[in-house]
Structure 1
Amino acid sequence: MQPAAGTPPVIHAPAGACARRPAVALFGPGSAAALLTGVVAVLLSPAWPPAGWGIPVVVAGLSCLVGGWRRRRRAYLWMGWVLAGVGLAVVHAAGMLAAQLPPRLEGAEMQVTGRVVSLVDRADGRLMFDFRVDPEATQPGALRGALLRLAWHAREGTSPAAVAPGERWQLRVRVRAPRGVRNPGGFDAERHALAAGRVADGQVRSPADARRITTGSSIDAWRERMAARIEAGVPAPSSRFIRALALGDTRGVSDQDWYLLRANGLTHLIAISGFHVGLVAGFAALLCQGLWWLWPGLGRSIPRPLAAGLAAVAGAAVYAAVAGFALPTVRTVLMIAVVVLSRLARERSAQVDALSIAAIVVLLVDPLAVLGAGFWLSFAGVAWLMWCLPVATRRPVRAFLLAQGVVTVGLLPLSVALFGQASLAGPIANLVAVPWWSLVVVPLVLAGTALDGVWAGAGVWAWRLGAWCFDLTWPLFEHLGGSRLALAWLPDSSWVAVPMAVLGAFWMLLPRGLPGKPLAALLWLPLLWPAKDLPAHGELEMQVLDVGQGLAIVVRTAGHVLLYDAGPLGRSGHDAGERIVVPALHGLGIRRLDRIMLSHADADHAGGLAATRSAFDTDTLVAPHQSGIEGATACVAGDAWAWDGVWFEVLHPTPFFPYLGNESSCVLRISSPHGRVLLTGDIGTIIEQRLLRMSPQRLGAEVVVVPHHGSNGSSSPSFIEAVGARHAIVSTAHGNHFRHPRPEIVARWSQAGAAWHDTAVTGAVRVGLSREGVDVESRRRAQRRGWDAEARRRAASVPP
């Protein structure tokens, strides 16, 4: 039977044929997520696989990836990306660890030649700068081509030489592998060094032998000269912020400034950020389009879209160079380049595809980028905005307000997880700062920099006008930073809290009308109000913090907190109270201190007091008589009190004992139904024998903090026998020049049956006295990291 006229013929597929599977995107969001999963699985694992695993895993991943793409099977494709991520992370991680300073060279002095590759930080009589060692064979083998962070300290009656970016120098340096302290709520300096590619830190030795080989001729040298021009041309105090916005030079931004910026959620704006790079790229593209509109004949040589895209990439690259190629700016340049290339290739990809390609490119180039907070915040922020906001709108004010709300809710879980804090004033401050700084201040600053780059002095007027505009808003942020809307510190939470909070944010940002949105707030509870695991009645928890060469101990009962010593204040201005003790207290969920007891007034024990007292309310401050601690009551033997079923008793100094520094240290014994702790400060053998004569029965303890950091003048055999400790804890700095603890002291305690814990090796040490008995746990063991330099040093059997 013939089909009716006008009816299209029916075409039958051949027998056995089947419909082809739809095409699979090789670089889609699923691919980016799979690659990220593989990288994170390696870099955030407690131990990294051997280097030999990397290449075979990458080859297997590529094979699986190609097969999945050809067969159009997403599962195979994504598995290939996961394996590729694992292999690349292993290769990069192994390469960085292999490049780090060998344990045998710890503390060694050697002569190196290289170039200054950063701006020079000048403060407190010392210089700090990054130094790239020459790759020539004449350099020490372990340091050829290595990136070092060097300190050049002033000597008595002298000052460091004038060092400028771009200069080549021959220096004699003492080097050490990058080291950092490990505490609750603390900054991981070793991870930061690894992500930056820094293989060692060092100090310049024999300054008289230092020799400048050539003068500076690099982008950093230009940045240094331009920073000096801004400082000279802008007399206002906000000159430091103008330098930060123009050049990414934050050397003049003080700790108090950073606190106010964090309290207002504005740290992403004050230095050159990805947002500013995108802004410059947009201005460059608009300028190019304007030129093509004025001279249409240019379009016959280069189409206007192509020219605008190339101008955007060029503008972004130049601005990133002005910022010294900081990692956030480089990521943004890559993202812009990916978008432009996709347009030039006439690929009509969605915004999410462009973001996915950018993430894949960043991870392929540098998998270690996931160790930095900027990677997560930049990509997550753009992803939230793409998902929640329309591509175009005729109501820009409403779109801006929505964007601020989306970023605030979407990035809050990451901010808490990465920094342990949240800014309640952030949404308000950003409503002012984002449009005003980005659309008024930054263009003026950039205009001044461009004009001054062409003709010295031509951009001063723009810098000054930008500073005046900046000063209009800064008082508002100072007010917000000092209000109750300032930083909210949150204690450490479990690993599952962040995914739950992200799910809660996703739920909250779903389209209006969906039911159950108030229930999403329940998913935030594990992150914002984590369980503090406080001791029960009669139990005790103690944290011996890793503060370097000093002491700071946090003692908690069921309802009270004691801080015994407050950490050191270094000669270079390093305040352990501000940088270690206060963040650790916040990380432990502590809001106030019931008592601070300073063993004595030396800077390594009492240096952090001012910063700690300014951050926490304190009922009582106790210190030895005549120690000079303002506002302190005397610490006298016989003083005792009880907290929540735990007994505290002072054993030394006795009444009318003169202040003799170390020998006047407050000795505190803490007793619970489950064990005892002895805190000894810096007493020596003389006071140890005095305590043995006066009350030997009161010295017994399961846990002791070793006297005077394990020096030769303490821990006498009779004292060790009387204490009878099962655990001996000492607080020292790695490689300290006092050589604490002394090997013979370590041997004495170990031979007496005490397990030895050194904060320089273990990080902070947690002691729990509970119904289960005495539990001692180190921070480095509880939270192992693949980049733990100390673990690798111990594995090599090299003493610290």
Structure 2
Amino acid sequence: MCISEKETLLKRFAGIGFLFVLGFSWNAQYAKSRLENVLNQELEGKEFFLEGRVAALPQSNSSGAKSAFKVDHANVGKEVLDRFPKLIYLSWQDIPDVIPGQRWKFKAKLKRPYGSLNPHNFDFERWAFHQDFGASGSVRSGELLLDKDIAWLDFEMRMELARWHLRKKIQLMLPIDARYVGVLVALVMGDQNSINQDDWQVFNATGIGHPISSISGLHVTMLAGVGASFAAFIWRRRTWPLMIPVSKVAAAAGFFTAFIYVWLAGFQIPAQRTMYMVGVVAFALWTGRNPRSFDIWWWALAFVLLLDPMAPYTPGFWLSFGAVAAILYAMGDSSGLLGIPTGKELEVHWTHRIIQAFREACRVQAVVTIALLPFTLYWFYQVSVVSPFANAIAIPTPGQLYRYTSCNTECAFAGIYW
């Protein structure tokens, strides 16, 4: 090995070591800030007088409602608490439906986030740590304060308020006794709380719980494509393409559409992954680059971990990135995602093209199923035998539901989105 090769190898190892130390430090600092937000153990079980805003879309069911609450002021009796969790998780029963962004004054009993370690159960403590909830508790009484500054909400709060309006419009435009209202709400905006338990049993038994419960890449890319097509149609009507090419404008509009929709869908990790991949492709178009498919995957992974180092604590992180990595591996590492087709595929008869496409789809589905088996067993303790066949049908179905199942639902979404 020559000296130049040794120097290159040493520089590479030094760069990897630097990135490892940097990532470890950022992760440790991030975890420290989360742990400092937890309720003091001496204050557990006491009644607090809290003032703040509803910070997220309320999750309602037959037993009551739950939501994140952003605390501005906290008192225990007459004592004002300076060090108190900024974000807590509250549940209530006798209080009417609350709206994100509303300012409330609650009397609540709080405790530190605890969760059972029983297998096959939901790990509430890990979920609360990932969501940065410093305490959880139940509301004893509440008072809605006069809220004149709702127009000055921050961007995140405005998105939660828009999600609430969207869910209400969908529920009002569909019949009251509609069988799959909760499923449609989950497919449109990622709110899975309204899905019936009987439906959950079917989804989990068939292995399609993840595509139903989270906004997948199909949803985001479909809306991004709509935004890009709309922008390209408008941009071509004038002489504007002489200033900026249509492809660049369409790419930017597609990313902006994906960004807004991902926030409307609750900023879930699978949706984030797709949004960042769309953004990398848009950046590549604007800068004249032709990235490889796995380069785009790596950049999306870096952005997700940079903004949320605790993302690996969620199953959606492993299932989403794992599925895309398996698909890219099964399809082969192309020389460029934005490359120009050769046109040789048109020389083959259409029946052979259909057979070949069917074979490739089956092969990719098999690779994805095998690749996700370890993650599925770890997170859900079970594997569905019919999952490959059910997902082959269910994954393309959401796009058809948007188009054919309910015109009213699509109109409700379009009314808020555009």
Look up the match of 2:203.
261
Look up the match of 2:399.
439
Q: How does 1:242-391 map to 2 (within 5 A)?
A: 242-275=184-217, 276-292=219-235, 294-295=236-237, 297-390=239-332
Cα contact 1:128–1:150 (8 A) shared by 2 = yes
- Unaligned 5+ residue runs, structure 2? 152-157, 335-340, 346-352
Letter in 2 for 1:99: N
Task: Verify: 1:73 aligned to 2:11, yes or no.
Answer: yes
CA positional deviation for 1:446: 9.3
CA RMSD, aligned part only? 3.0
Look up the match of 1:141.
82
2:89 is paired with a residue of what secondary structure? Answer: strand
Pairing partner for 1:212 from 138, 145, 150: 145
Distance 1:19 1:305 in 2: 46
Look up the match of 2:348.
none
Q: How does 1:492-511 map to 2 (within 5 A)?
A: none
Distance 2:10 2:405 in 1: 51
Letter in 2 for 1:281: A
Cα contact 1:121–1:251 (8 A) shared by 2 = yes
2:35 is paired with a residue of what secondary structure? Answer: helix
CA positional deviation for 1:149: 0.9
Cα contact 1:110–1:140 (8 A) shared by 2 = no
Cα contact 2:190–2:266 (8 A) shared by 1 = yes
Look up the match of 1:228.
168
For these two proteins, the number of residue pairs brought into alignment is: 384
CA positional deviation for 1:454: 6.4
Look up the match of 1:618.
none
Pairing partner for 2:58 from 102, 117, 120: 120
Look up the match of 1:428.
389
Letter in 2 for 1:98: E
Range with greater deviation from structure 2 (233-242 or 329-338) = 329-338
2:221 is paired with a residue of what secondary structure? Answer: helix
Letter in 1 for 2:391: N
CA positional deviation for 1:19: 8.1
CA positional deviation for 1:221: 2.9
1:143 is paired with a residue of what secondary structure? Answer: coil
CA positional deviation for 1:441: 1.0
- Unaligned 5+ residue runs, structure 1? 1-17, 23-67, 154-158, 457-800
- Structure 2 CA distance for partners of 1:374 and 1:151, relative to 1, 3 Å: same
- Structure 2 CA distance for partners of 1:372 and 1:151, relative to 1, 3 Å: same
CA positional deviation for 1:101: 0.9
- Structure with the largest fraction of helix: 2
Look up the match of 1:160.
95
CA positional deviation for 1:427: 0.9
Task: Verify: 1:83 aligned to 2:24, yes or no.
Answer: no
- Structure 2 CA distance for partners of 1:272 and 1:302, relative to 1, 3 Å: farther
Distance 2:415 2:229 in 1: 25
Q: Output one character per residue of 1:207-242: Cα deviation in whole Å (capped at 9) or x when no partner.
A: 2x5233328663333332332332232222112211
CA positional deviation for 1:109: 1.7
Distance 2:366 2:266 in 1: 32
The structure with more radius of gyration = 1
Cα contact 1:133–1:147 (8 A) shared by 2 = yes
2:191 is paired with a residue of what secondary structure? Answer: coil
Letter in 1 for 2:70: R
- Structure 2 CA distance for partners of 1:288 and 1:135, relative to 1, 3 Å: farther
Distance 1:274 1:184 in 2: 27
Task: Verify: 1:132 aligned to 2:93, yes or no.
Answer: no
CA positional deviation for 1:107: 1.2
Look up the match of 2:34.
96
Q: How does 1:183-194 map to 2 (within 5 A)?
A: 183-194=118-129
CA positional deviation for 1:134: 2.4
Q: How does 1:444-593 map to 2 (within 5 A)?
A: 444=404, 448=408, 451-452=411-412
Look up the match of 1:412.
373
Distance 2:312 2:299 in 1: 16
Cα contact 2:174–2:408 (8 A) shared by 1 = no
Cα contact 2:225–2:254 (8 A) shared by 1 = yes
- Structure 2 CA distance for partners of 1:85 and 1:244, relative to 1, 3 Å: same
Look up the match of 1:241.
183
- Structure 2 CA distance for partners of 1:219 and 1:449, relative to 1, 3 Å: farther
CA positional deviation for 1:455: 5.7
2:67 is paired with a residue of what secondary structure? Answer: strand
Cα contact 2:55–2:160 (8 A) shared by 1 = yes
Distance 1:455 1:357 in 2: 33
CA positional deviation for 1:93: 1.0
Cα contact 1:277–1:319 (8 A) shared by 2 = yes
Letter in 1 for 2:115: G
2:137 is paired with a residue of what secondary structure? Answer: strand
Q: Output one character per residue of 1:768-788: Cα deviation in whole Å (capped at 9) or x when no partner.
A: xxxxxxxxxxxxxxxxxxxxx
CA positional deviation for 1:420: 0.9
CA positional deviation for 1:443: 4.0
Q: Output one character per residue of 1:397-425: Cα deviation in whole Å (capped at 9) or x when no partner.
A: 33332222221111111111121111111
Cα contact 1:113–1:168 (8 A) shared by 2 = yes
- Structure 2 CA distance for partners of 1:454 and 1:401, relative to 1, 3 Å: closer
2:383 is paired with a residue of what secondary structure? Answer: strand
Letter in 2 for 1:284: G
Percent identity, please. Answer: 28
CA positional deviation for 1:451: 3.1
Pairing partner for 2:135 from 200, 216, 222: 200
CA positional deviation for 1:290: 4.4
The normalised TM-score by structure 2 is: 0.82
- Structure 2 CA distance for partners of 1:359 and 1:408, relative to 1, 3 Å: same
Pairing partner for 2:49 from 89, 111, 118: 111
Distance 1:421 1:117 in 2: 34
Q: Output one character per residue of 1:341-383: Cα deviation in whole Å (capped at 9) or x when no partner.
A: 2332333321111211221121122111111111111111111
Cα contact 2:74–2:81 (8 A) shared by 1 = no
Letter in 1 for 2:330: C
Distance 1:101 1:255 in 2: 33
Letter in 2 for 1:182: L
1:374 is paired with a residue of what secondary structure? Answer: helix
- Structure 2 CA distance for partners of 1:332 and 1:447, relative to 1, 3 Å: farther
The normalised TM-score by structure 1 is: 0.45
Letter in 2 for 1:344: W
Cα contact 1:242–1:445 (8 A) shared by 2 = no
Cα contact 1:112–1:140 (8 A) shared by 2 = no
